[in-house]
A and B are shown apart, each in its own frame.
Chain A
């Protein structure tokens, strides 16, 4: 009996799911969404007819979202906005969310209907891909997203998750070399990243100069296999080659995490209390390093550098406890990536016609040292999203 009941229960579950699906689908959802889709197809085919003329004469840097050209039915469709990130507890990542909110203000200005949400992977590849697929499915093609893949290896799966339902996505920071936006045209619109090699190099130079070009250093690297971690370390190695009197006495990954950095530096300090500087691949780890130095009574005596411009490290730079950090401008990354995807979704931007250097490009970054820290602290982001490629660095 029991067995039969459970079989029936299972069967019923499936039947219910399918029945509900069957009732719901043809009745409203697909039909109402399908219609505008057909119109979309028409408008997108019409649009490029005007576009190329513009595109040929002008640089894409001058490409403008002309709100008056956006079809009214697009403006009336609810567009779903998301940023897919590792965890909002990281201050840098929180600025990406603010970037989305800034872009949402722009959408308010032009009368676009939208809803926005943060997809938090909590550092899990599987969850990030599932989140994206579910988000895309909900929006049914009317979605744009910024994604910071948790690891290189899932960049394609994330873009694919979005492409399957016809939305538009821009990725940042991490992706493998052998895949890119061209593999999923038009849905994978762009991949951008600040130049990690240069950033790693610049902070290393700032640190070594503060040490007068000599002495011992510790190195805290980012998560193994992250493009950002690998390239920042590359930049460090370039700088090390230029400063032969700098000696690396401890080098390991702290997985971008404060707690791991704290433990590593504490251990290393026991062996090398005379260390002169600590190079950290991000500011979260720099925070851990500073805590370890504080415990050992060495804060302010040992130079620390990081990347991301977290508030506490920027303050440490201002007070002289840290030497330098880099602002990758998460506001700009989040906001402009969505703006470019928006242009693609409205049909104003023909992704297929977009040249390669506008599909993968670097976004600007600022090295913050004692000299310009005051200027940075008074910075408030103010962007013109109608020129979405204004975020290209070079």
Chain B
């Protein structure tokens, strides 16, 4: 009897896992079929290019957030870290760029500055969360408003990248067929994080901590170190998102990241990562991001009113999470 029951539970769990895993995937396929059947240019070269390249900043940021959510934590500061990196990038390009020998060098310098800032933001947030035992929600909420203000202090108003510096951001327009360079770079980022997730000690510890932090600690995993490193990863990802957005919009905007914070969480959730930690992965997140992009792009294509777009989007996220929540766990506490 007992063994039968476990088999049943096992089966159910597997079914659920599949549903969850393929939710985004099947959603993408269904949406693409529906949109392309009703709109003849939906899969035209121009739109495909748009669809694939516009997703890059969101992919970069979402994969960073994936790790944090697997830990069972959350990083609400990603959007504003992205904003700060964004204004820093344009500041470096416009203020230091002209004195450098080439715009490419300026682009590289801006990239380095962004990454250093992202890592710094991750380290201090991680330390405050881990050492001062401030819950990640609150710690990142604090940093969210802190970095928002820092971004506004650096540049109150959006600044365009000076025309002379345009060569430094031309890379964003490079495409191979329908695939843009930003997407390729984002996917390289995915590959790197995939390797970290699956083939390193940090990656293995990640799932263990997310599943049961106390047990992991007893098992001798240096939980604090792992957590801080992962916040550094998410900080860098957020900063790279800001860098990409600066190139894409040819300008900085001190509030550019604000709208991303919750979009990132939605994309990761759609990708099957559990917000209670322990389950999920970066590949699922990529699918989640494409689901978000296809929904947004498709609704613009059909010409759905902006407010309705948010309703449809909200329903999608609810459905995805409702399907993916593992309700079989005994005494599951939903907070």
Contact = CB atoms under 8 A, between A and B. Distances in A.
Main SS of chain A's interface residues? helix
B21 A153 contact: no
Interface in A125-144: 125-127, 129-131, 133-140
Interface in B262-318: 281, 283-284, 286-287, 290, 296-297, 300-301, 303, 305-307
A153 B252 contact: yes
Nearest to B301: A138
Interface in B242-258: 245, 248-253, 256
Nearest to B299: A134
A153 B160 contact: yes
B43 A24 contact: yes
Interface string A105-131: 000000000010111101011110111
B251 A122 contact: no
Interface stretch (A3-11, A209-217, A257-265, A383-391): A3-11
**How many B residues are at the interface, by size bracket?**
35 or more
B303 A115 contact: yes
B163 A179 contact: yes
B245 A126 contact: yes
B290 A13 contact: yes
Contacts, number: 147
A232 B248 CA distance: 30
Contacts of B248: 126, 129, 157
Interface stretch (B65-73, B104-112, B131-139, B151-159): B151-159
B303 A117 contact: yes
A139 B41 contact: yes
B32 interface: yes
B41 A137 contact: yes
A136 to B, nearest CB: 7
B332 interface: no
A178 B283 CA distance: 42
B39 interface: yes
Contacts of B301: 134, 138
A224 interface: yes
Interface stretch (A25-33, A52-60, A271-279): A25-33
A389 to B, nearest CB: 29
Given A115-B303, A153-B158, A13 B25 contact: yes
B284 A24 contact: no
Interface in A1-22: 2-3, 5-7, 9-10, 12-13, 16-17, 20-21
A283 interface: no
A154 interface: yes
Max chain A C-beta neighbours (<10 A), residue from B21, B248, B253, B287:
B253
Nearest to A161: B50
Interface in B23-41: 25, 28-29, 32-33, 36, 39-41
Nearest to B198: A3
B101 to A, nearest CB: 22
